[in-house]
């Protein structure tokens, strides 16, 4: 599905008048970014369920979702930076709000991993990680707002790109790409979760044997 | 309700009394913020703009707060007091509120020294800056207290807290700097108020999960 979407994007959708071929990265970059948001949101939802119901299996699910989200977030930074280089000639520009937002989120969720690795496994770690994951999902809109209002003062020029007025064929290719990316993330999530669960039960077995 | 208020007052009073007797944290914060301002003077090339100086003031504030927050739960940890507090017949969020009030008081006291020192070393203060600092203090104390409790449960306590805290402090810095150098301070002050409200409610609601064993 993802391959089909990218093929559609490459060969079928019309080229952007200003940006030409480089605009094609839009079909990869934006779906990755949206998928990262979706993963963070899903992880926070699982974290909320953990605090609400106390079910310990939510911990691993939340962790895995955030893990996938961080991978997609990093990919967003990389593709966004490539796009910025091609369109504006800089690898990094603080004027691009989405990139700045993703940098903040990336730092935040890296700290989430540090928190997990430096706390002893147990109910305390599950709840602390869950609370921190919930903070992350609140941080997204708050930072978005912050970066948005700061954009007008700290950075004089803002690049506004791609409104909602995409031509039909571009929109269709974009939706296919988005669906493909979400499917990819869901598959990765399943695989990773199965791996982590196997890992955990293996460890429990070892402890039983030891 | 009045019981809750009495619990909070007692807890905040305990923190302030403890600090008054031991003088562990506040002198360190004061010395740190003044030294940091002195370092900034040498870090800035001569002829730097007032905007750059204001930006550095915000760095000093965030790091001073971090210094205080690292110590926020140290007394509880060393004496094993947190377990006692959790077992005490009071709402657990009262612990958070009492601690947050204590931390806010430390921050305000540190800034009562830091802001005049900044005005003396660099340039006069605007009322927007003072208002932004006051609003930022509330947000920093609210969120910092919760994160300090989270970090206290981990192995790398002092190391972990800055990592947890700084990404969440970025919006505070954006709001604070915007309010003190921007052309439209009201919207940034409003944003800081919103940040305080959102994260204070979230910390208040989630503190219970962080301290319960």
Q: Chain A: give the shortest CA distance to residue B89, in Å.
A: 21
For residues A149-154, give the mean pLDDT. 61
Contact status of A135 with chain B (Cβ, < 8 Å):
yes
pLDDT of residue A168: 62
pLDDT of residue A166: 56
Determine the angle formed by the axes of helices A2-11 and A168-209, rounding to 10 degrees.
150
Per-residue burial over A103-138, b = 16 or more CB atoms within 10 Å of its CB, e = otherwise: bbbbebbebbebbbebbeeeebbbbbbbbbbbbbbb
Q: Residue with structure tokens 């001569």?
A: B46
Contact: A130, B209; criterion CB under 8 Å: yes
Q: Chain A: give the shortest CA distance to residue B161, in Å.
A: 9
Does pLDDT of A13 surpass 70?
A: no
A162 belongs to a structural domain: yes
Of the pLDDT bands very low, low, confident and very high (cuts 50, 70, 90), residue A158 is very low
For residues A188-205, give the mean pLDDT. 85
Contact status of B35 with chain A (Cβ, < 8 Å):
no
Pick the range with the lowest mean pLDDT from A159-163, B68-72, B117-121. A159-163
Percent of chain A with pLDDT over 70: 75
B172 and B61 Cβ atoms separated by less than 8 Å: no
Among candidates B151, B156, B137, which has minimal Cα distance to B199?
B137
With beta carbons under 8 A apart, name residues in chain A contacting B154: 115, 118-119, 128
Q: Measure CB to CB from residue A119 to each of B154, B167, B177 and give the nearest one.
A: B154
Average per-residue pLDDT in chain B? 87
B169 and B140 Cβ atoms separated by less than 8 Å: yes
pLDDT of residue A28: 76
Of the pLDDT bands very low, low, confident and very high (cuts 50, 70, 90), residue A124 is confident
In terms of residues, how long is chain B?
213
Among candidates B146, B169, B75, B103, which has minimal Cα distance to A134?
B146
CB neighbour list of residue A52: distance below 8 Å, 6 or more residues apart: none
Domain regions of chain B by residue span: 2-211
Contact status of B2 with chain A (Cβ, < 8 Å):
no
Could you tell me which residues are beta bridge partners of residue A16?
Answer: A20
pLDDT of residue B193: 92
Does pLDDT of A154 surpass 80?
A: no
How many separate helices (H) and strands (E) can be counted in chain A?
Answer: 6, 0
For residues A186-209, give the mean pLDDT. 85
For residues B176-191, give the mean pLDDT. 85
Measured CA distances, A96 to A78, A151, B48, B65, B166 (Å)? 13, 9, 26, 30, 21
Contact status of A113 with chain B (Cβ, < 8 Å):
no
Reduced to 3 states (helix: H, G, I; strand: E, B; else coil), residue A16 is strand
Contact: A153, B195; criterion CB under 8 Å: no
A17 belongs to a structural domain: no
For residues A19-32, give the mean pLDDT. 68
pLDDT of residue A157: 42
Q: Chain A: give the shortest CA distance to residue B210, in Å.
A: 6
> First-to-last CA distance in chain A?
46
DSSP assignment letter at A24: G
Between residues A125 and B47, which one has the greater pLDDT?
A125
Among candidates A132, A18, A7, which has minimal Cα distance to B143?
A132
Question: What are the tens digits of pLDDT across the range B6-63?
Answer: 888 888 888 888 888 888 788 889 999 999 999 988 888 877 788 888 889 999 999 9
A185 belongs to a structural domain: yes
In terms of residues, how long is chain A?
210
Contact: A51, B187; criterion CB under 8 Å: no
A15 belongs to a structural domain: no
Contact: B210, A51; criterion CB under 8 Å: no
A42 and A192 Cβ atoms separated by less than 8 Å: no
Of the pLDDT bands very low, low, confident and very high (cuts 50, 70, 90), residue A208 is confident
Number of domain units in chain A:
1
With beta carbons under 8 A apart, name residues in chain B contacting A139: 167-168, 171
Pick the range with the lowest mean pLDDT from A16-30, A40-54, B2-16, B84-98. A16-30
For residues A29-54, give the mean pLDDT. 87
Q: Measure CB to CB from residue B154 to each of A105, A115, A134 and give the nearest one.
A: A115
Structure tokens at A83: 């796009």
CA–CA distance, B96 with B102 (Å, rounded to integer): 10
Closest chain B residue by Cα to residue A145:
B191
Of the pLDDT bands very low, low, confident and very high (cuts 50, 70, 90), residue B100 is very high
A95 belongs to a structural domain: yes
For residues B170-174, give the mean pLDDT. 90
Does pLDDT of A155 surpass 50?
A: no
With beta carbons under 8 A apart, name residues in chain B contacting A127: 209-210, 212
pLDDT of residue A144: 84
Measured CA distances, B207 to A68, A89, B143, B146 (Å)? 27, 46, 10, 6
Contact: B206, A111; criterion CB under 8 Å: no
Between residues A147 and A168, which one has the greater pLDDT?
A147
**Which domain does A169 fall in, by range?**
2-10+23-209
Measured CA distances, A141 to A37, A196, B62, B82, B188 (Å)? 11, 30, 22, 33, 15
pLDDT of residue A4: 59
pTM summary value: 0.83
Residues 147-206 of A with CB under 8 A from B: 147, 149-150, 152-154
pLDDT of residue B75: 77
Contact status of B88 with chain A (Cβ, < 8 Å):
no
Contact: A127, B209; criterion CB under 8 Å: yes
Reduced to 3 states (helix: H, G, I; strand: E, B; else coil), residue A20 is strand
pLDDT of residue A18: 46
A16 belongs to a structural domain: no
CA–CA distance, A43 with A64 (Å, rounded to integer): 8
For residues B156-170, give the mean pLDDT. 88
Q: What is the largest CA-CA distance in chain B?
A: 58
Average per-residue pLDDT in chain A? 77
């Amino acid at each position: 599905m993802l391959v089909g979407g990218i093929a559609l994007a490459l060969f079928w959708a019309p080229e952007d008048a200003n940006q030409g071929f480089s605009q094609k990265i839009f079909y990869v970059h934006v779906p990755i970014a949206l998928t990262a948001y979706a993963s963070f949101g899903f992880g926070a939802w699982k974290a909320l369920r953990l605090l609400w119901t106390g079910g310990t299996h939510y911990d691993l699910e939340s962790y895995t979702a955030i893990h996938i989200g961080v991978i997609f977030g990093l990919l967003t930074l990389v593709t966004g930076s490539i796009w910025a280089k091609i369109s504006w000639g800089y690898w990094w520009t603080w004027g691009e709000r989405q990139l700045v937002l993703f940098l903040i989120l990336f730092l935040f969720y890296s700290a989430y991993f540090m928190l997990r690795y430096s706390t002893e496994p147990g109910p305390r770690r599950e709840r602390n990680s869950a609370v921190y994951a919930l903070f992350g999902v609140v941080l997204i809109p708050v930072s978005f707002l912050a970066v948005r209002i700061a954009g007008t003062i700290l950075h004089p020029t803002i690049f506004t790109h791609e409104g909602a007025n995409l031509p039909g064929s571009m929109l269709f290719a974009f939706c296919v790409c988005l669906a493909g990316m979400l499917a990819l993330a869901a598959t990765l999530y399943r695989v990773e979760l199965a791996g982590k669960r196997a890992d955990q039960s293996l460890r429990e077995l070892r402890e039983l044997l030891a | 309700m009045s019981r809750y208020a009495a619990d909070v007052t007692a807890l905040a009073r305990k923190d302030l009394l403890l600090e008054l007797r031991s003088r562990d944290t506040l002198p360190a914060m004061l010395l740190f913020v003044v030294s940091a301002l002195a370092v900034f003077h040498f870090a800035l090339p001569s002829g730097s703009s007032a905007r750059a100086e204001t930006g550095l003031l915000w760095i000093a504030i965030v790091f001073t707060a971090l210094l205080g927050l690292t110590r926020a739960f140290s007394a509880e940890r060393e004496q094993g007091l947190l377990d006692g507090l959790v077992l005490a017949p009071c709402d657990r969020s009262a612990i958070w509120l009492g601690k947050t009030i204590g931390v806010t008081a430390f921050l305000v006291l540190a800034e009562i020294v830091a802001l005049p020192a900044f005005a003396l070393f660099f340039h006069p203060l605007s009322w927007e800056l003072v208002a932004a600092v006051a609003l930022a203090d509330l947000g920093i104390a609210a969120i910092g207290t919760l994160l300090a409790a989270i970090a206290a449960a981990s192995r790398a306590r002092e190391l972990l807290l800055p990592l947890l805290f700084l990404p969440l402090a970025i919006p505070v810095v954006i709001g604070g700097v915007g309010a003190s150098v921007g052309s439209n301070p009201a919207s940034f002050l409003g944003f800081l108020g919103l940040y305080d409200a959102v994260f204070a409610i979230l910390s208040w609601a989630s503190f219970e999960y962080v301290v319960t064993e």
